[in-house]
Structure 1
Amino acid sequence: MCEWQLSWKLKKDTLVSKDDWIAIVPRRYAEIYPSSPLLNSYEMTHVSAAALMEVRYFQAEADTMPEEIFAEHHVLLNLQETPHRVQNRRDGEMRDFTFHKNEIVVTPAGMRSGWRWFAKSDVIVVTLDPQRVEKFAQTELAMLLDPQQFADLPQFTDPDLCAAGVMLRDALENDDLTSGVMFEAMSRVLLVKLLERYGQKRPEDLALSASFTSDHYGRVLSFIRANLDRTITVDDLAREAGMSPSHFGRMFKETVGETPMQYVLAYRVEQAIDIMKDSARALGSIALDCGFADQAHFSRSFKQITGQTPRQFRAATTQ
């Protein structure tokens, strides 16, 4: 588990022994759930390698799951028609409640959680990687998240989110190209809903007036999107943010975790990946549309970010 994923859960003066550290090595729901998932997005062959989430559909008789700490966020969507008793221990606090259809449980990464349910389960479990969530929130919603990313939500009614989850589940029933496209589209819909409703934004009231806020970030991202096919410099971005280039560069890296130019390059590659889904588009045309000087520049940059050339990546994702 990455240090940043645990830093907000462990006190600074806490010493973690080797045995304790082994106990918090991240696990997956699929590894400890008492039955195998009936449907599993990880096994789909027509889902892009850049899929935003993993989705598993479970049904299991009354049973338990031991307390574990996970490196990923988990969202549990209850589809069981009949209300049933559930116990959920979260960071040492026991909750004993009646679980109703269309209720959800959001468990942020790094939280210790264990379960016991007293009737047959009928649930969808959505697993989210924090790094992918952070990138999606930044590039798609211009949202800067705090380290926890999601609210600790032990029980909440959300029929709309559950309906989106059912559409994801249905897309898993047929492993074909059409279902893969539907799964990816609904993944984006569900993640947007999650972030807009339960995402934890970085608190702006703690920032100084000269700090890099969500408003600064939004203006910079809008400029990058509008000028993707052109040369973009640090001076251009600093001007949009209303800062000096040196101050902007420092604040951007401190907030986003990358230098402005690293971010622009990664954004160009991400947009290229999206366009490459259209197999009719030539790589040279995509390169120019995404602001690369030529196809050779595109290929070098793409491999730097993904580890593959554009041709290799396209071949691997269209098999």
Structure 2
Amino acid sequence: MSGKLYGESLGTALAARLLQNYAVSKPSLEFKTDGLPQSQLARVMDYIKTNLAQDLSILDLASLTSISESHFSRSFKQSVGIAPYQYLMQQRVERAKQLLKQPAISISDIALNCGFANQTHLTKVFRQITGVTPKAYQKR
């Protein structure tokens, strides 16, 4: 489910790299910006938290700020310190941690409720971020 945002992030990075390396006249890809204004950042973060189970795209998030997708990605990363896709995955893992405290909910249901494609996807991302599997976290 997170494939659209990840794919768009990779596409934006690839386009910027191609421009930087192969353009006849080299554009300056260094943008002087202080990131997103606090109100826009809060709107984007709230939207992400509200829509964790959805397949979010850079376009969805950028449209909340009325700026281009590439400018949004750069500004978001400058504001938060990580790319939008990484932030999304962290928020999904945080939601999964909350749900794992309720043993009546299966890990596969938690995965779907948090926007992961399946339990395997949740386990992979959860282990990358926390260092333990969801099952091990649940047993703590």
- Bin of the TM-score, shorter chain as denominator length: 0.7 to 0.9
Q: Percent identity?
A: 39
RMSD value over aligned CA atoms?
1.7
- Which SS does the other structure have where 2:64 is aligned? helix
State the match for 2:108 in structure 1.
284
Partner of 2:3: none
Paired with 1:211 and 1:274, the residues of 2 have a C-alpha distance of: 30
* Partner of residue 261 from structure 1, selected from 80, 85, 90: 85
Q: Does 1:296 align with 2:120?
A: yes
For CA contacts below 8 A with separation 6 or more, give which structure has more relative contact order: 2
Alpha-carbon distance between aligned partners in 2 of 1:299 and 1:211, rounded to the nearest angstrom: 32
Using the alignment, how far apart are the partners of 1:241 and 1:210 within structure 2?
15
Give the number of aligned pairs: 109
Deviations 1:77-115 (A, max 9, x none): xxxxxxxxxxxxxxxxxxxxxxxxxxxxxxxxxxxxxxx
Q: Is the 8 A contact 2:33 2:75 kept in 1?
A: no
State the alpha-carbon separation in 2 of the partners of residues 265 and 274 from structure 1: 14
1:220 to 2:44 alignment:
yes
In structure 2, C-alpha distance between the alignment counterparts of 1:278 and 1:217, rounded to whole Å: 31
In the alignment, the residues of structure 1 paired with residue 43 and residue 114 of structure 2 have an alpha-carbon distance, to the nearest angstrom, of 19
Residues in 2 aligned to 1:265 and 1:235: alpha-carbon distance in whole angstroms: 17
**1:244–1:279 distance in 2 versus 1, CA, 3 Å:** same
Q: Name 1:243's counterpart in structure 2.
A: 67
Q: 1:308 to 1:246 in 2, by over 3 A?
A: same
Identify, as 1 or 2, the structure richer in strand: 1
Please say which structure displays the higher CA radius of gyration.
1
Deviation at 1:272, TM superposition (A): 0.7
How does 1:43-192 map onto structure 2 within 5 Å? Answer: none
Q: Distance in 2 between matches of 1:311 and 1:234?
A: 31
Which position in structure 2 is the counterpart of 1:69?
A: none
Measured after TM superposition, the shift of residue 278 of structure 1 is: 0.8
Q: Please, which of 230, 234, 242 is the counterpart of residue 54 of structure 2?
A: 230
**SS in structure 2 opposite 1:215?**
helix
Deviation beyond 2 Å, 4+ runs, structure 1: 208-211
Task: Return the letter of the residue paired with 2:125.
Answer: S
Structure 2 CA distance for aligned equivalents of residues 247 and 308 of structure 1 = 35
* Shift, 1:210, TM fit: 8.3
Instruction: For 1:295, give the aligned amino acid.
Output: Q
Provide closer, same or farther for how the CA distance between residues 299 and 209 of structure 1 changes in structure 2, counting only shifts above 3 A: closer
Residues 215-224 or 295-304, more deviating:
215-224
Structure 1 pair 211–258 and aligned structure 2 pair: CA distance change class (3 A): closer
One-letter amino acid of the structure 1 residue matched with residue 91 of structure 2: Y
- What is the alpha-carbon distance in structure 1 between the residues aligned to residue 33 and residue 91 of structure 2? 27
Alpha-carbon contact 2:34-2:78 (below 8 Å) kept: no
1:303-318 maps to which residues of 2 (within 5 A)?
A: 303-316=127-140
Instruction: After TM superposition, give the deviation of residue 232 of structure 1 in Å.
Output: 1.1
One-letter identity of the residue aligned with 1:234: I
Question: How far 1:226 moved relative to its partner?
Answer: 2.2
SS at match of 1:241: coil
TM-score, normalised by the number of residues in structure 2? 0.73
